[in-house]
Amino acid sequence: MRYQLAPMFHRPYLLNDLSQKLIESHYENNYGGALRRLNAITQELASCDFKQAPGYVVNELKREELIAMNSTLLHELYFASLGLAVKMSATFADVLARDFGSVERWRDEFIAMGNALAGGSGWVLLVYLPRDHRLINQYASEHAHGIAGGIPILALDMYEHAYHIDFGANAKAYVDAFMRNINWTAVEARYEDALKVEPPRPLVQPEFGDVPGVTVEEVKAMLDGNEPLQLIDVRPQHYVSRMKDMIEGAIWRDPERVREWAGELSKSEPVVVFCMYGFDMGCKTAIALRDAGFDAKYMKGGHWSWRSFGGPVKQHV
Ligand SMILES: [Fe+2]
């Protein structure tokens, strides 16, 4: 078998208001069932001739593999989320306050999401996003809707099989019981592990050395704050004459003639230059201006990042 069963992570008979019978049934029939399905599908995939198999066969096998895989992983996280009700540390309370406003607000959202799934099915997950260095609550419907790159650290199972034996249709009472049985020591340990995961690599432009850049968000904040800023659009002339949109607050200058127009700029105020996508012309012009003594940076992502971020543009003639 490719995938191995994980043992029960806690003693079911020590939980409060969640019966041993419920947990054992859940572990055997739903977690164990998912793992057994996953191994069976894996075997089928191993013997599948992908050059000959019809698309619907491949679709079904890979879809079922995804569902069984995530069901397996999320059930393991679910059982690992429960245990002796260990209180949340003050340090982790600060983390939740940072990302949700307060512990109460995190808890209110998490519980509301669980209650909203009553009568339906799916998971409520607390997930760490390395890309943004923050936690978020998310749904995972049908086991298969994880946030790409997110690391779940707490899982609430809202499939009916998770509570029907003890609570019937009273999903709200189950959610309350789950919240009372969270093992925060284990959750916080997973958070510590998640923090060690590197975020996706940023855009690297080694050919331009370490020319400093600013984000579109930072440029927008400077404009909104009426901070001194000389914002120069250095997209190629043929591109600007074809595309009639211009970032509000920017002026266009021909990147081929930077020596001619550099004298118009002030050396006492910062300069930000940008081209279509942020590198190439933007970086080259920023380097030329820095060599001439200006406090120049390039805008990361350029014109298209500005547009994609929703920054205001105007039409020029
Ligand atoms: Fe389940």
Residue with tokens 């081209």: 275
| Cα three-residue angle 2-26-75, rounded to 5 degrees | 50
pLDDT value of residue 316: 72
Q: Are residues 16 and 39 in the same domain?
A: yes
pLDDT value of residue 15: 92
Q: What is the CATH number of the domain that holds 278?
A: 3.40.250.10
Separation of 185 CA from ligand 1 center, angstroms? 22
3-state helix, strand, coil in the chain (%, to 5): 50, 15, 35
- Residue 200 covered by a domain: no
CA-based end-to-end distance of the chain: 67
Q: What is the CATH number of the domain that holds 17?
A: 3.55.40.20
Q: How far apart are CA 226 and CA 164, in angstroms?
A: 59
Domain count, the chain: 2
Which of 128, 160, 195 lies at the terminal end of a domain, its last residue? Answer: 195
* Average of per-residue pLDDT across 224-237: 94
Separation of 32 CA from ligand 1 center, angstroms? 10
Q: Are residues 188 and 215 in the same domain?
A: no
Separation of 75 CA from ligand 1 center, angstroms? 6
Contact by Cβ (8 Å): 76, 7: no
Separation of 158 CA from ligand 1 center, angstroms? 7
Separation of 253 CA from ligand 1 center, angstroms? 61
pLDDT value of residue 120: 87
* Average of per-residue pLDDT across 6-17: 89
Separation of 24 CA from ligand 1 center, angstroms? 11
pTM: 0.85
Residue 144 has pLDDT above 90, yes or no: no
Separation of 160 CA from ligand 1 center, angstroms? 8
Residue 142 has pLDDT above 70, yes or no: yes
- Residue 5 covered by a domain: no
Separation of 98 CA from ligand 1 center, angstroms? 30
Q: Are residues 225 and 154 in the same domain?
A: no
- Residue 1 covered by a domain: no
Q: Are residues 45 and 160 in the same domain?
A: yes
Separation of 161 CA from ligand 1 center, angstroms? 6
Separation of 85 CA from ligand 1 center, angstroms? 20
Separation of 126 CA from ligand 1 center, angstroms? 16
Residue 235 has pLDDT above 90, yes or no: yes
Q: Are residues 148 and 174 in the same domain?
A: yes
pLDDT value of residue 208: 73
Q: How far apart are CA 82 and CA 86, in angstroms?
A: 10
Residue 285: give the domain boundaries: 206-315
* Average of per-residue pLDDT across 168-187: 96
Residue 244 has pLDDT above 90, yes or no: no
**How far apart, in Å, are the Cα atoms of 134 and each of 96, 188, 203, 236, 309?**
9, 14, 20, 38, 20
| Least confident window among 79-88, 110-119, 198-207 | 198-207
- Residue 298 covered by a domain: yes
The secondary structure of 285-304, three-state, reads HHHHHHHCCCCEEEECCHHH
pLDDT value of residue 105: 98
**How far apart, in Å, are the Cα atoms of 196 and each of 138, 190, 221, 270, 288?**
21, 10, 31, 36, 39
Q: Are residues 288 and 240 in the same domain?
A: yes
| Least confident window among 108-117, 119-128, 235-244, 250-259 | 235-244
Neighbour-count burial of 29, counting CB atoms closer than 10 A to its CB (0-12 exposed, 13-18 middle, 19+ buried): exposed
Q: How far apart are CA 154 and CA 79, in angstroms?
A: 10
Mean pLDDT for the chain? 93
Residue 4 has pLDDT above 90, yes or no: yes
- Residue 110 covered by a domain: yes
pLDDT value of residue 317: 64
Residue 176 has pLDDT above 70, yes or no: yes
Separation of 122 CA from ligand 1 center, angstroms? 9
> Which stretches does DSSP call E strand in 75-215?
123-129, 134-140, 151-157, 213-214
Separation of 74 CA from ligand 1 center, angstroms? 8
Q: Are residues 53 and 142 in the same domain?
A: yes
Separation of 66 CA from ligand 1 center, angstroms? 16
User: Reduced to 3 states, what is the DSSP secondary structure of residue 14?
Assistant: helix
Q: How far apart are CA 81 and CA 18, in angstroms?
A: 13
Query: Quick one: what percent of the chain has pLDDT higher than 90?
Result: 81
Structure token pair of residue 77: 């996280």
Which of 143, 168, 195 lies at the terminal end of a domain, its last residue? Answer: 195
Identify the sign of the CA torsion 10, 12, 14, 19.
positive
Separation of 163 CA from ligand 1 center, angstroms? 9
| Structure letter (DSSP) for residue 2 | -
pLDDT value of residue 204: 67
Q: Are residues 172 and 239 in the same domain?
A: no
**How far apart, in Å, are the Cα atoms of 62 and each of 148, 151, 232?**
17, 22, 50
* Average of per-residue pLDDT across 86-102: 96
Q: Are residues 214 and 173 in the same domain?
A: no
* Average of per-residue pLDDT across 2-22: 91
* Average of per-residue pLDDT across 189-209: 85
Q: Are residues 102 and 131 in the same domain?
A: yes
Q: Are residues 185 and 259 in the same domain?
A: no
Separation of 208 CA from ligand 1 center, angstroms? 52
Separation of 58 CA from ligand 1 center, angstroms? 26
Residue 203 has pLDDT above 70, yes or no: no
Output the DSSP codes for 30-63.
IIHHHHHHHHHHHHHHHT--TTTS-HHHHHHHHH
Separation of 106 CA from ligand 1 center, angstroms? 23
CB-side exposure of 226: number of CA atoms within 13 Å?
Answer: 0
pLDDT bracket for residue 206 (50, 70, 90) = low
Separation of 266 CA from ligand 1 center, angstroms? 64
Tell me the Cα Rg of the chain: 27
- Residue 4 covered by a domain: no
Identify the sign of the CA torsion 73, 76, 80, 81.
positive
Separation of 261 CA from ligand 1 center, angstroms? 66
Q: Are residues 188 and 254 in the same domain?
A: no
Which of 166, 195, 224 lies at the terminal end of a domain, its last residue? Answer: 195
- Residue 3 covered by a domain: no
pLDDT bracket for residue 137 (50, 70, 90) = very high
Separation of 27 CA from ligand 1 center, angstroms? 8
- Residue 6 covered by a domain: no
